[in-house]
Amino acid sequence: METRPPWDEYFMRIAFEVATRATCLRRHVGAVIVRDKRILSTGYNGSPPGQKHCTEVGCLLEDGRCIRTLHAEQNALMQAALHGVSTHGATLYCTCRPCHVCARMIVAAGIVRVVFAGESPEGWAKEVLTAAGVGIVPLLDLEPPSPMMKLQNVPQGTDAETSFEEQNP
């Protein structure tokens, strides 16, 4: 009797662990890029190297979205590029569905399959992935191990939220 988890569940659980490193106040997201059952790269949402994190100085919001942080998928792709690791033909595991910007980066990086926890991508993100022939695999049965891995609303007017104009007079 097989007691080990299937590969998709195994790598998604690793992505959940990677998400614990996230510095976003709204949601912790993790991503793992895998080819031939080997991890190529990981990433979590947070500020670029050398920049202050939202956990240190609050969210930098523009039009209601934090512009301080990179998405987990973006960080995983950039880490692979930085270290000369090809992502062509790989699978990307992410603890949430990709946005339209990440979807375009996933296609450009040669990723052939995206596995994520939660609902399927919508709108433009789904269209971009589908048009490129990228497999879309939702793992609906996996619950995030932490409430911070679900989107949180940062209450307006709190120390955790500042506008771009407030931080850059």
Provide the annotated active-site residues. Answer: 73
Q: At what angle do helices 123-131 and 100-108 cross, to 10 degrees?
A: 10
Strand partners, 91: 34, 113
**Number of residues that this document lists for the chain:** 169
The Cα 62–Cα 87 span in angstroms is 31
Q: Which CA distances in Å does 4 have to 8, 9, 26, 41, 153?
A: 11, 10, 33, 23, 36
